[in-house]
Amino acid sequence: MTNAEPLTLVSPNGNGSSMLTQVRRVIICAGTGCMANGAMKVFEQFKREMADTGLHVLLELRPEAASDEVRLSKSGCQGFCQMGPLVSVLPDGILYTKVRSEDVAEIVHQTLVAGQAVERLLYKDPSTRKSCRGIEDNPFYSRQNRLVLKECGYLDPEDIHEYILHGGYQAARKAFVEMSPQEICKLILDSGLRGRGGGGFPTGRKWDAARVQNSAKKYVICNGDEGDPGAFMNRSVMEGNPHSVIEGLLIAARAIGANETLVYVRAEYPLAVERMRRAVKDAEREGILGNDVFGTGLSMKCDVMEGAGAFVCGEETAMIASIEGRRGMPTPKPPFPAQSGLWGKPTIINNVETLAHVSRILNVGPEVFRSIGTKDSPGTKTFALTGHVANTGLVEVPFGTPLREIVLNIGGGVTDDAGKIWKTGFKAVQIGGPSGGCLTEEHLELPLAYESLRSVGAMVGSGGLVVMNQGTCMVSIARFFMEFTQRESCGKCVLCREGTKQLLALLDDVIEGRADAGTLELLEKLGHAVQAGSLCGLGKTAPNPVLSTLRYFRKEYEEHIFEKRCRTGRCKALLRPEINPAKCKGCGMCLKACPTQAITGEKKQPHHIDPELCIKCGACAKACKLHAIEGI
């Protein structure tokens, strides 16, 4: 039916502006990070201060807003998490960082009334120490290409009308009113969109496999069960632009002939659950979801379900089992979910970021999407940048961007444990979470894409990037991720259940000084066996952190095993406590504090620690005011 009544839409132009951006606007970042740091107190203080100053405060977006009105709104995560709470003032182009409620009066009077920036609240580039007025001169933002994340930091996630007025649901209407399911699948296939959940499978092929199935009932599931340590990309999209996810679900459902969709959200994401459920209700109220989608007579239902809290439920068949009320455990493929999924019906599962790309592809065309990124990995990818880096947060860059650009330029450089820039401190990046691998200094020029990462034993994964400096023990890092995957194993496969447990035990032997010459060989053999014999992606990728650190940091393993030494001093069992004779004055404070009488020495003469008696409790180091105790 092509005579359906269109939505009233305002399409953004090339730089993302529209007539609505001409309204004076104050945007408070209300992502989880900023909320935890008091963003709502800042928001409430703005309401009071603006009203007291006599400004006309606009709390709901209206296209006909008067020029003297100021729109005060919340947004989702703006990405610069370390600097929150964030406050943007538009169209002035000002971004304030680390704003507290006590700062609001100064911002209102100096910026909204006098038109001047509050210099002390502007971000200062750690490399140049220059103040950045807004995102245009801030390298954290200016070096990114924010497509999926752009509106997360601008739109009010709880206002469906704002999403619609900025072009929202225009692509979904086009899919239902103007396109056939086959045309939609072909367009997505032509775009080259690949799944952003880790595997990188072509989205169009997955959709088309479900489309051709002869079944009266089909399902589409959004995978929001983001379980990687340090990863929060999907959470931020659901919190910041939930309607983009629903629109992607609508288009996917139309493409395969489904009339029921479901969003499976990690239970530990309460704000994402709340905003997704509100978005569904608002879409139902506006007639976007329901029994007559865009006047076509087709129906569409969307439910939001909280996940079971298990990492393995991110795997497709385990997720389906969880939704059906069974224990979340993977099943063999084939049949694939596109053939027999939820309740035995054809089902496609895409993650949040994948679905958020879909509406833009329909709006701009597959050629524009393909013009960004690489030939085999088109488009952009979001990454959660954490660890020893100056600018932690959420970044989005085209596929093919070198690792150096993300860590040293967008991230602002590697830091020491005190947070200061360490120019020669880069050691490694763990990419892809517990399923990924390590990239080293030799990979700083490596373009981040599916194929290039696979060639060096790593993977895109969900998009976690953990930066590590020279003070990081790589054996301990491998153990951290192995402990996580061992704990999250569902136990169905013997090799995954028992193999990960044994890998963890072997790493404990290395860290605690019990390993011998055969440990390295056993680690590698067992790692490859777990990869080969496990059923699902969790087991197949669980040994990756061990195997990749063995590949690039074998010398550290050998130091732990043969020299009984940890070069970083992180492994307590391998510490060698010593008293520096140049610093020790023989005061006897350490001798008195030692519970095992491991310290001996004459008064006013340098003391000595007996390594056989020392239990490395640290009592001597605490007692020594001259800091003469080293190695503990």
Q: What is the pLDDT of residue 317?
A: 93
Q: How many domains does the chain have?
A: 5
* CA 249 – CA 297 distance, rounded (Å): 18
Q: Which domain holds residue 521?
A: 475-562
Q: What is the pLDDT of residue 538?
A: 86
Residues 79 and 165 in one domain: no
266-271: average pLDDT = 90
- Burial class of residue 324 (count of CB atoms within 10 Å of its CB; 0-12, 13-18, 19+): exposed
Residues 267 and 360 in one domain: yes
CA quadruple 388, 392, 397, 402: dihedral, nearest 10: -10
Q: What is the pLDDT of residue 64?
A: 58
Task: With respect to residue 38, please indicate whether it lies within any of the assigned structural domains.
Answer: yes
Residues 314-369 pLDDT 10s: 889 999 999 999 999 999 889 999 999 999 999 999 999 999 999 999 999 999 99
Count Cα neighbours of 208 within 13 Å in the Cβ-side half-sphere: 14
Residues 81 and 125 in one domain: yes
Q: What is the CA radius of gyration of the chain?
A: 27
Backbone angles phi, psi at 395, to 5 degrees: -125, 155
Residues 304 and 390 in one domain: no
Residues 201 and 337 in one domain: yes
One-letter identity of residue 137: D
Q: What is the pLDDT of residue 63?
A: 59
Residue 423 has pLDDT above 70, yes or no: yes
Residues 182 and 264 in one domain: yes
Task: With respect to residue 152, please indicate whether it lies within any of the assigned structural domains.
Answer: no
One-letter identity of residue 403: L
Q: Which is higher by pLDDT, 58 or 302? A: 302
Domain termination site, one of 308, 339, 369: 369
CA quadruple 330, 334, 338, 344: dihedral, nearest 10: -70
Residue that the structure tokens 């709880």 belong to: 158
Q: What is the pLDDT of residue 173?
A: 96
414-418: average pLDDT = 91
Residues 51 and 171 in one domain: no
Residue 5 has pLDDT above 60, yes or no: no
Q: Which residues pair with 261 in a beta bridge?
A: 220, 302
Q: What is the DSSP string of 575-596?
A: ---EE-TTT-----HHHHH-TT
604-631: average pLDDT = 89
170-184: average pLDDT = 97
Domain termination site, one of 511, 537, 562: 562
| Tokens coding 103 | 């700062």
Q: What is the pLDDT of residue 19?
A: 42
| Tokens coding 148 | 């999926």
Confidence band for 66, pLDDT divided at 50, 70 and 90: low
Domain termination site, one of 455, 472, 489: 472
Residue that the structure tokens 């192995």 belong to: 482
CA quadruple 397, 402, 407, 413: dihedral, nearest 10: -120
Alpha helix segments (H runs only) across 67-201: 104-107, 139-142, 160-165, 170-177, 181-191
Q: Which is higher by pLDDT, 108 or 17? A: 108
Residues 111 and 175 in one domain: no
What CATH number does the domain containing 252 carry? 3.40.50.11540
Task: With respect to residue 137, please indicate whether it lies within any of the assigned structural domains.
Answer: no
Residue 12 has pLDDT above 60, yes or no: no
Residues 465 and 487 in one domain: no
* CA 629 – CA 632 distance, rounded (Å): 7
Task: With respect to residue 570, please indicate whether it lies within any of the assigned structural domains.
Answer: no
* CA 511 – CA 475 distance, rounded (Å): 7
pTM: 0.88
Helix (H/G/I), strand (E/B), else coil: 348: strand
